[in-house]
């Protein structure tokens, strides 16, 4: 496995709480742990996080250092990668995705952990309460499974004659499992017969897409949580375009890549809000006393170019409701 490690440093003023200054004169160090690869240029979500940090005066390379550690999509290595990150002695750890959150929680009970976007932290056992998270973990979360039925409703508005649904989810991820179950349960009310294979690797996903090309569904639903969707967004979007299958998900980046539609909170906004939590921690706040936030707005994104390419007629009223339209 090739793991990406990056330390952002440079000269600049130190912005840190008094307890940190007592330890050393170095700049605050933010650890950034993720399952998926660290891309350059940064993804839309990571860019939003960095912009959020700058709004609070935390400039990478000047006033703070950021240390990245990635498992490169291989969940079995996330614990080892997390240990590598701890060796860099971060003052706070920013994480995205349940695998990274659970690895960080298991690895340390003292270093503050900030979730940038996570589905149902209570459900996976990361915290016992959103209002009073306790321990060393806080941040921003939303429960993607609650929106599964709405996504299928939107898909049926676009493809009213759809009968066959395939739900792709990462079986290594408990939140993805919960969302897949919610989608399968909701399928019945929309007269959809659901096939829901749990996958655990890029190779398994590739084989499943070959099977789906042979046994074509009317709608392909991709569960939010897990590294498969993130690292295979191009393959999933291309499958939908080549096979003329509408791809529906909670990922706006998958819609932008060529999926038909997504319905979810603005993930980039959640990452930006995560920077607020990092700022609070660096200024001395305790994670246990910072309630976990849930987003209040949900974003509908539609790829009109994809709709035309696969022969889907998106209702005008649905386009008028869309927050983002890719053309």
Of the candidates 194, 48, 275, 307, the residue with the CA atom closest to the CA atom of residue 322: 307
Q: Are residues 93 and 127 in the same domain?
A: yes
Q: Are residues 93 and 157 in the same domain?
A: no
CB atoms within 10 A of CB 210: 10
Mean pLDDT of 66-87: 94
Q: 101 and 11 in one domain? A: yes
Q: State yes or no: pLDDT of 8 exceeds 90.
A: no
| pLDDT confidence tier of residue 17, bands split at 50, 70 and 90 | low
**Cα Rg of the chain, angstroms:** 20
Q: Are residues 115 and 160 in the same domain?
A: no
Q: Which domain, by its residues, includes 252?
A: 145-264+298-326
Q: Are residues 270 and 308 located together in one domain of the fold?
A: no
Position 226 confidence tier, pLDDT thresholds 50, 70, 90: low
Is the model's pLDDT at 116 over the cut of 90? Answer: yes
Residue 52 three-state SS: helix
Residues 227 and 83 in one domain: no
State whether 127 and 174 are in the same domain: no
Cα 173 to Cα 118, 169, 226, distances in angstroms: 11, 8, 6
CB contact set of 234 (below 8 Å; sequence gap of 6+): 257, 258
pLDDT in the model for residue 19: 45
Task: Please tell me the total count of domains within the chain.
Answer: 2
Mean pLDDT of the chain: 89
Domain CATH code at residue 115: 3.40.50.2300
- The reported pLDDT for the residue numbered 80 is 97
The larger pLDDT score, comparing residue 16 to residue 166, is at 166
3-state secondary structure of 150: helix
Shared-domain flag, residues 168 and 304 = yes
> Residues 304, 159: one domain?
yes
- Under the banding of pLDDT at 50, 70 and 90, the label for residue 22 is very low
pLDDT at 124: 80
Instruction: Output the six-digit token pair for 5.
Output: 């490690």
Q: What are the two backbone dihedrals, phi and then psi, of residue 67, each rounded to the nearest 5 degrees?
A: -110, 120
> Is it the case that residue 122 has pLDDT exceeding 90?
no
Same domain, 132 and 180: no
Report pLDDT digits (tens) over 36-47. 888 889 988 899
Mark whether 23 and 168 lie in a shared domain. no
Confidence of residue 158 (pLDDT cuts 50, 70, 90): very high
Report pLDDT for 120.
Answer: 80
User: What is the secondary structure of 208-219 as a DSSP string?
Assistant: HHHHHHHS--SE
pLDDT of residue 43: 87
| 324 three-state secondary structure | strand
Residues 137 and 149 in one domain: no
Residue 151, pLDDT > 60, answer yes
pLDDT at 21: 46
Task: Give the global pTM.
Answer: 0.80
Quickly state the pLDDT bin for 246 (edges 50, 70, 90).
very high
pLDDT band at 64 (very low <50, low <70, confident <90, very high): very high
């Amino acid at each position: 496995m090739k793991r990406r490690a990056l330390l952002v440093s440079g000269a600049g003023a130190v912005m840190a709480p008094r307890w940190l200054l007592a330890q050393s004169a170095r700049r605050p160090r933010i650890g950034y742990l993720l399952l998926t690869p660290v891309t350059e240029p940064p993804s839309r979500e990571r860019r939003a996080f960095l912009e959020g940090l700058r709004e609070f005066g935390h400039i990478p390379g000047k006033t703070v250092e950021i240390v990245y550690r990635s498992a490169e999509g291989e969940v079995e290595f996330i614990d080892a990668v997390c240990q590598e990150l701890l060796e860099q002695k971060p003052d706070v750890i920013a994480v995205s995705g349940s695998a990274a959150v659970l690895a960080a929680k298991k690895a340390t009970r003292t270093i503050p952990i900030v979730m940038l976007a996570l589905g149902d932290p209570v459900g996976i056992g990361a915290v016992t309460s959103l209002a009073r998270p306790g321990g060393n973990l806080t941040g921003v979360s939303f429960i993607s499974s609650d929106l599964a039925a709405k996504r299928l409703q939107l898909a049926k508005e676009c493809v009213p004659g759809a009968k066959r649904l395939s739900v792709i989810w990462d079986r290594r991820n408990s939140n993805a499992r919960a969302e897949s179950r919610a989608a399968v349960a909701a399928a019945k009310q929309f007269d959809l017969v659901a096939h829901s294979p749990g996958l655990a690797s890029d190779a398994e996903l590739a084989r499943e897409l070959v099977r789906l090309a042979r046994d074509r569904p009317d709608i392909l639903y991709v569960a939010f949580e897990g590294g498969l969707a993130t690292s295979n967004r191009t393959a999933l979007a291309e499958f939908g375009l080549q096979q003329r299958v509408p791809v529906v998900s909670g990922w706006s980046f998958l819609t932008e890549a060529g999926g038909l539609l997504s319905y979810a909170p603005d993930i980039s906004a959640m990452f930006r809000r995560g920077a607020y939590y990092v700022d609070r921690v660096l200024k001395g706040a305790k994670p246990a006393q910072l309630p976990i936030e849930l987003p209040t707005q949900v974003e509908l994104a539609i790829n009109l170019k994809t709709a035309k390419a696969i022969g889907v007629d998106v209702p005008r009223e649905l386009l008028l409701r869309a927050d983002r339209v890719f053309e």
